[in-house]
Structure 1
Amino acid sequence: MKAERLHGCLQTAFRWGALLTLCAAPTQWTLINNPRLGPADLLLAATAGVWGLDILLTRGWRRLWAARPHWTHLLFAVCVGAAACVAASRGEAFKELVQIIEYFIVGAMVFTAFLHERDSAVADASRRAALPLFPVLGAVTAAVLALAALQYVAAEGHRSIARFAEPKTLDVIVNVLGGWQSPLLVGGTFGNRNVLGGFLALALPLAAAGALGGARGIVARGGCALLLLAGLALTLSGAAYWAVVIAVAALAAARGVRTFIPVAAALVLWQTAVLPRLPRENDLCHFESVALYDSAGQPARRYPEWQAAASMILTHPWLGVGPGNYQRQVGPFYGQVPNATGPAEPDIQNLYLVLGATCGLPALLAFWALLATAAATAHRTGRPGAAAALAAFAAAAVWHPLLVRGLGLPLVFVLALARHPLQEKASDGTDPV
């Protein structure tokens, strides 16, 4: 009896720990500066420890095997590890490697096991009230958007962003790149608009799938629709905004012409009649965030750096220059390309070029395989929201390096969700994905 009671306590602690980890994940708030650790990192470690202890005590090797990482996760981690061994700055490289292992190995196993445990709890009629996953995640997304709304409407800027942005980056934005009124500082619980856009590229397609019929009941669908509209109004990253719009249009098209036509009409009206009238003229913010040239007619800093990063890949195709070594090594690769000097907008690199330049082409291909196999599985098993979220993330990552603190664990959860078999019943209704 004592063993069974301990097993039950550990299971309960694991489920709540995994849910709390997901709730704490979408933020760049740092609890410990060196190494940089946030609340979700500590919660994930504790949750993984509880789950591991339960596996050992119950000899639940089948549960461990069922939660094993997908082969693409393992391949990606191995490729990054090989690149770390040849990095010029191995300290930075191994920090990045530890983060990759945390996200794509430990996080993937914890979230996969959590989804399996959730199904088991739902199957037990006595535990039907346990862990309403999607309503809780919707509430977390609403909290992120509520803070972003305060930052959006504040005439003189909202100082809450200082809790999430790196001090040096915040100083550059405030003193050089537009002051406290800069659209860069509409970041919610993230350091800037670009990282917030990456989170919304994952969250809003799931909300759209719920609004289009995945959620059970008019209240749930209405809540999903409100989240989607709020996210579209507060996203000031053009890349993330259009990635979400395309994902929503694709979800609507998949449901047939009767859904696609009104959704497409609403998106066009939103773009032409609503965005230009919002206080920050969102349509102009979107355009300027991805424009080829700035207001002075000079090439935007992002695109010459892309060419320099591509040159790094050509020079170091197998193992790159080492994870975490991108900024240290990119300078000499500009060649004849204009290299703008002075402060730059944060998080404007191309994720795929950064991965290829720092970890080599094998790691880049492994990461693409990781995203593609998960999206294909989600499409095949009837999770269109998860497939759309991964597609939107992949598109936004062309303009922003989205494998950063605050986004890694949400991404891994969507990957786990995409590969998880769809259940007919859930404790919080039909899965809206």
Structure 2
Amino acid sequence: MTWLLRVLACATAALAPLEGYLLELHGQLAKAAPLLLTAVWLAQRVRERRMPQSHPVHGVLALFAVVLLASTALHAGGPYAVDYLLRWLPFLVITVVLVDVAAREVPVRALLASIVGGAAVAAVGALHSLVAEGETRATGPLEDPNDLAYFLVAALPLLVALIGGRRSAVRSAGLAATALVLVAGAAATFSRGGGLALTAALGWLVARRALPLRAVAGGAAALAGVGLGVLLLAGPTLDRALQEKSYIAGTNVDTRELRWQAAARMLTEHPVLGVGPGGFRGGYAAASHNAEVDEQTPVAHNMYLEVAAELGLPGFGLFAGLLAVAAVSSERVLRAGARRPMAAAQASLIAVVVASTFLSQQYYLPLWSLVAVVAAADLRRRETDARAPRDQ
């Protein structure tokens, strides 16, 4: 069943940014690959009578699950508590599964390539929605342009991890074309948070010497050329899109300030277990003193404040601990020799961290898959280190 685990793990990673397309075909189709992966993985481990290899990330996930369940039990009467608990739990489970299969059956490089491949398809869909469907901001496979930008920007640094291996002109051209498509798709969303996240990720890659500065300059020049072509061919449409984005941006600043204040207020009043999963949506109108008449049940547009408001300081501490464990693990693997892949994973995590300052992205796969990939690479490093003395 090894081949099936590989196919399902790669499909889970690749199909995540295409959720909107899958939902159009069937309401449950987006869940099919993760569910099948979990079922096959469980059957395989039972047949082998083998437990997953332990990693610190498992301890953090287990404690986080305890806080999540406790908060849900305390606020079980909330209108969204159970629904949001059922949104959280699959991500915790799939992270455990991906850690284990990527440490044993699925090459880390294949998983990273799947993330990039799915995002590239999503970027093509984004550009199609802009060019062929007349959207002023690219959407395509996801309804919200900002969410789409999040997926594309998180995938872009991972291209650096795919540079290694046998070089060829065709391969290099393919990677360059994929990078251009991802950047163009992200730019077509007009997401400011995505732009900041991409800048931070590229800065990290340059600082860690995983990406030459001339490559960044060349990419910027190519993108500028594409932008000039778009301006010449579709100037009026682009101007209308920029005007709409300017109007929306001004509104977003005001509404996000209101929501962040409401989330901080909830945390202050419920610091131990928060207001429960989904409690921000359920309690926003009251916490904001009905500040947004047109939007009574929004998200916080800040992953950290939303998690803290809903799960309290212990939940937020464990959630932040998950990112800290990923950062430490990736640095260990990087220093053990896997410099370029781990620098790419770190840059992608930085993109996720920055973008999530303006978005509620805890219910999307990039964060969880990156944590899993890094933990799996750390387990592979540990196994290699343990095998070395035996070989000697």
Q: Do both proteins adopt the same fold according to a TM-score greater than 0.5, normalized to the shorter chain? A: yes
Structure 1 counterpart of 2:14: 23
Is the CA contact (8 Å cut-off) linking 1:312 and 1:320 kept in structure 2? yes
CA deviations on 1:244-289 (whole Å, 9 max, x unpaired) are 1221122022118x923x2454576578776576553699589748
Contact 2:9 2:98 in 1 (8 A): yes
1:245 has 2:199 as partner: yes
CA distance in 2, matches of 1:266, 1:285: 29
| Matching residue's letter, 1:201 | V
Alignment check: 8 A CA contact 1:88 1:325 kept: no
Query: What per-residue deviation string (whole Å, max 9, x for no partner) do you get for residues 176-203 of structure 1?
Result: xxxxx342xx223112101112212321
Deviation at 1:116, TM superposition (A): 2.5
**Conserved? CA contact 1:28–1:38, under 8 Å:** no
> Would you say the 8 A contact 1:352–1:364 is kept in 2?
yes
- The match for 1:393 is 352
Is 1:192 aligned to residue 180 of structure 2?
no
State the superposition RMSD in angstroms. 3.6
Task: Select 1:150's aligned residue among 121, 124, 128.
Answer: 128
Aligned to 2:175: 224
Show the counterpart of 1:53: 43
Whole-Å separation in 1 of the counterparts to 2:244 and 2:164: 29
| Aligned residue among 257, 261, 264 for 1:307 | 261
User: Which of 94, 100, 107 is the equivalent residue of 1:107?
Assistant: 94
Question: 1:116 & 1:221 partners in 2: Cα distance?
Answer: 28
Q: Deviations over 1:122-155 (max 9, x none)?
A: 9xxxxxxxx954544433222111111101213x
- The answer (yes or no) to whether the contact 2:264–2:305 under 8 Å persists in 1 is yes
How far residue 15 of structure 1 moved from its aligned partner, in angstroms, is 2.5
- SS for the counterpart of 1:421 is helix
Give 1:76's aligned residue.
64
Q: How does 1:116-135 map to 2 (within 5 A)?
A: 116-118=103-105, 132-135=110-113
Indicate the residue corresponding to 2:386 in structure 1. none
1:411 is the counterpart of 2:367: yes
Q: TM-score normalised to the size of structure 1?
A: 0.72
Residue aligned with 1:323, SS = coil
2:285 to 331, 343, 364: 331
Deviation at 1:19, TM superposition (A): 2.3
Give secondary structure in 2 for the equivalent of 1:145.
helix
Whether contact under 8 Å (2:67, 2:315) holds in the other structure is yes
Matched residue pairs, number? 362
Q: Which residue of 2 aligns with 1:259?
A: 212
Cα distance in 1 between the residues matched to 2:284 and 2:372: 34
CA distance in 1, matches of 2:27, 2:286: 32
Say whether the 8 Å CA contact 1:375–1:386 is kept in structure 2.
Answer: no
Identity %: 26
Provide the rounded CA distance (Å) in 1 between the counterparts of 2:247 and 2:87: 28
Quote how far apart the aligned CAs of 1:216 are: 4.4
For the residue of structure 2 that corresponds to 1:330, the secondary structure is: helix
Distance of aligned partners of 1:199 and 1:310 in 2 relative to their CA distance in 1, 3 Å threshold = same
Structure 2 unaligned residues grouped into runs of 5+: 335-341, 382-392
- Structure 1 position 204 matched with structure 2 position 204: no
Q: Which residue of 2 aligns with 1:349?
A: 301
Q: Report the CA distance shift for 1:393/1:92 in structure 2 as closer, same or farther (over 3 A).
A: same
